[in-house]
């Protein structure tokens, strides 16, 4: 396999997992895919999951890019992360 493609897949383990699952179906690794309909259903399910994972990876990358660009344009801005608040403190009786 092209090493560049392999490196890219390794950077996205969820996509790699689905790609390997599709290849397992194509090669019938388990020996359980006997009908084209079964293979089609399994492959389509993995393609859907891979599509959802791809969009999620894309969104994460877009957010990182936007944050980086904003930080570069506005170095004086204070970055606020996720709050670590566990809820309202209990009141003493």
Task: Give the residue-averaged pLDDT of 23-32.
Answer: 94
Only one residue has tokens 């997992």, namely: 17
Residues 6+ apart with CB under 8 A from 42: 25, 33
Task: Give the residue-averaged pLDDT of 57-70.
Answer: 90
Task: Tell if the pTM clears 0.95, that is, is over it.
Answer: no
CB 68 within 8 A of CB 74: no
- What pLDDT, on a 0 to 100 scale, did the predictor assign at position 89? 67
- Which residue ranges make up each domain of the chain? 10-71
53 has pLDDT over 80: yes
Helices (H), 27-88: 36-73
Task: Give the residue-averaged pLDDT of 41-61.
Answer: 95
Rounded to the nearest angstrom, the gap between the alpha carbon of residue 42 and the centroid of all alpha carbons in its chain is 19
């Amino acid at each position: 396999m092209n090493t560049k493609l392999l490196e890219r897949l390794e950077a996205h383990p969820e996509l790699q997992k689905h790609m390997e699952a599709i290849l397992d179906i194509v090669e019938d690794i388990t020996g359980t895919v006997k009908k084209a309909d079964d293979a089609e259903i399994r492959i389509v399910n993995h393609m859907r999951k891979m599509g959802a994972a791809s969009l999620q990876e894309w969104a994460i990358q877009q957010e990182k890019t936007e944050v980086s660009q904003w930080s570069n344009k506005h170095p004086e801005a204070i970055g606020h992360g996720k709050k670590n608040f566990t809820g309202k403190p209990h009141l003493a009786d």
